[in-house]
Amino acid sequence: MSASGVRARVRAEMTEEIKAVAKRHLVTDGANLSLRAVARDMGMASSAVYRYFASRDELLTALIVDAYNAVGEGAERAAATGTGDLDRFLRATHAVRDWALANPHEWALIYGSPVPGYQAPQDTIGPATRVILLIAGIVRDAYLAGRVAEREPITGGYADELGRVAEQYTPGAPARLVAAAMSAFIHLGGAISAELFGQLKNSVDEDRRGFFEYQMRGEADRIGLT
Amino acid sequence: MSASGVRARVRAEMTEEIKAVAKRHLVTDGANLSLRAVARDMGMASSAVYRYFASRDELLTALIVDAYNAVGEGAERAAATGTGDLDRFLRATHAVRDWALANPHEWALIYGSPVPGYQAPQDTIGPATRVILLIAGIVRDAYLAGRVAEREPITGGYADELGRVAEQYTPGAPARLVAAAMSAFIHLGGAISAELFGQLKNSVDEDRRGFFEYQMRGEADRIGLT
DNA sequence: CAAAAGCAAGAGCACTGCTCTCGTTATGGC
DNA sequence: GCCATAACGAGAGCAGTGCTCTTGCTTTTG
């Protein structure tokens, strides 16, 4: 066990190192990650990398899972330092943006257009939900404590569906709360992608942080957070 | 002139056909478009394609410009059929979504993560602004006609900057109008990307159109459209 | 009519993901 | 401790990619 533990540990270290090198390549080359280049950087044959990752897609998947967890954990930590509901919400969303600004290519990997021919495996859906679950959690806590302001209820087919989703997380809570939380999450992603992908150029160049917060405050207001 | 016109016309037809074939490949293969495969499909040598497009990136640029114009034109036509301000806004945003659903890979090309190593040339920035200019135009018309509801003004560094942008399009209009219009545009892109890139899976599957409209109505309300 | 320019094809370069085979080394059952 | 087995790393090779260069041919132009 301890002997085989050596090999297992070396294997784990190699896997981590490959991911680290790949992440470095990601920041310069973007999503067209070259497995051969990674292997070259590590001084090993490209075929040897296939001992650790069955394909380039599998390596990408590992990077995607790491990225989801990194942004999720960052947001969770930031939210934990907040005091009020609105403060926790703003801290969480700012943390997501900060992480995205620091790791633009990883953001593109998880929230940009899907890599062509790449099919997200089951492993990714768990980590992928961390941020939206965090936002939903903040809203739920506020609602259960009776601190969510009144808003008009929603109607339409999506209301029923989101009502069923609400039963899982906030039993008894109105569907419009889930709808507003999801709207905030979607707006969050859109705002960050717009900033990173260059759509704010020539219109918002000085105070992008402020403009981002303006939008997030708007979503918080729609939710009813104070 | 008529003789050389023949060659010019053939050249234009070839260029269009290459773009058409490339667009067909786009719907199946996504963004990793193969110039060689396009050439094979047309029964010509890959080197011959370089007579019409200096590089694969240039072909992509042509497709991007076409996509921007297609979605922009669709939104403009839809807006023109609207009656009130809110109606025009909703029709325009729904038209953008409809186009995106019909052409998901082209949407990914223009609003998804930038193609690695690809630098958007000057040709694209004009067509790229059509949708946001359309939304801004709807808001401007409503404001100049005195039909925009009162909302709280905005503060912060981005307010000054957007105020300067406002002077170009809606002289005398408050910066918060531009901010709200841009927020709507950003939310629009985020909502469509979220739907196309699979982030709505398992939460909004039945009435996505309704959920989209809920979000857009929220933005219209923030703007003050009626 | 001849020179010039446009065009298509083929060969070739450097690169990619991935597979297969080959020796080598560490692991686990006896 | 021995030895079959499994893991490992390296190299060669295949099919594909973007792109360039050269070579003939055709069309346009002066």
Span A37-55, average pLDDT: 96
Give the C-alpha separation, A78 to A82, whole Å: 7
CB environment B3-18: b (16+ within 10 A), e (fewer)? eeeeeeeeeeebeeeb
Partner-chain residue, chosen from B113, B204, B215, that has the shortest CB–CB distance to A161 = B204
Q: How many CB atoms lie within 10 A of CB B149?
A: 10
> A129 pLDDT exceeds 80?
yes
Judge whether residue A28 contacts strand C, using its CB and a 7 Å cut-off.
no
Sign of the CA dihedral running A105, A110, A111, A113: positive
Q: Are A64 and B150 in contact (CB under 8 A)?
A: no
Q: Which of B108, B196, B24, B63 is nearest to A116 (CA)?
A: B108
Partner-chain residue, chosen from A117, A157, A182, that has the shortest CB–CB distance to B203 = A182
Q: How far is CA B140 from CA B74, B126, B147, B151, B169, in A?
A: 20, 20, 10, 15, 7
% of residues, chain A, pLDDT over 70: 96
Q: What one-character-per-residue DSSP string does B153-216 give?
A: ---SHHHHHHHHHHHHHSTT--HHHHHHHHHHHHHHHHHHHHHHTTTTTTTS-S-HHHHHHHHH
Give the C-alpha separation, A34 to A46, whole Å: 10
Q: Are A83 and A144 in contact (CB under 8 A)?
A: no
Q: Are A99 and A131 in contact (CB under 8 A)?
A: no
Q: Which of A149, A135, A58 is nearest to A95 (CA)?
A: A135
Encode pLDDT of A147-201 as tens digits: 999 999 999 899 999 999 999 888 888 999 999 999 999 999 999 999 999 899 8
Contacts of residue A25 in chain B, CB cutoff 8 Å?
Answer: none
Q: How does the average pLDDT of chain B come out, rounded?
A: 92
Q: How far is CA B211 from CA B22, B132, B140, in A?
A: 33, 21, 26
pLDDT value of position B2 = 44
A32 in B contact zone (CB under 8 Å): yes
Return the H-helix or E-strand segment holding A133: helix A130-144
- With tokens 């309300």, the residue in question is B221
What stretches in chain B show pLDDT beneath 50? 1-3
Which residue pairs from A78-87 have beta carbons closer than 8 angstroms and sit at least 24 positions apart in sequence? A79/A134, A79/A138, A84/A226, A85/A138, A85/A141, A85/A142, A85/A147, A85/A148, A85/A225, A85/A226, A86/A217, A86/A220, A86/A225, A86/A226
Q: How far is CA B184 from CA A80, A192, A224, B224, in A?
A: 30, 14, 19, 12
With H, G, I as helix, E, B as strand and everything else as coil, classify residue B110. Answer: helix
Residue A8 — pLDDT band, cuts 50, 70, 90?
Answer: confident
Instruction: Pick B84 or A5 by higher pLDDT.
Output: B84
Q: How does the average pLDDT of chain A come out, rounded?
A: 93
Contacts of residue A183 in chain B, CB cutoff 8 Å?
Answer: 187, 214-215, 218
Tokens of B211: 């959920």
Residue A2 — pLDDT band, cuts 50, 70, 90?
Answer: very low
pLDDT value of position B38 = 97
Residue A116 — pLDDT band, cuts 50, 70, 90?
Answer: low
Give the C-alpha separation, A177 to A225, whole Å: 10
Q: Closest approach of chain A CAs to the CA of B202, in angstroms?
A: 9
Q: Which residue of chain B comes nearest to A178, CA vs CA? A: B203
Question: In B, residues 120-159, which contact A (CB 8 Å cutoff)?
Answer: 120, 128, 154, 156-159
At A73, which amino acid appears? E
Residue A4 — pLDDT band, cuts 50, 70, 90?
Answer: low
pLDDT value of position A82 = 96
Partner-chain residue, chosen from B116, B159, B206, that has the shortest CB–CB distance to A30 = B116
Encode pLDDT of B139-174 as tens digits: 999 999 999 999 999 998 999 999 999 998 888 889
Encode pLDDT of A58-69 as tens digits: 999 999 999 999
Burial of A55 (0-12, 13-18, 19+ CB in 10 A): exposed
Give the C-alpha separation, A173 to A145, whole Å: 12
Encode pLDDT of A83-99 as tens digits: 999 999 999 999 999 99
Q: What angle do CA B127, B128, B129 make, to 5 degrees?
A: 90
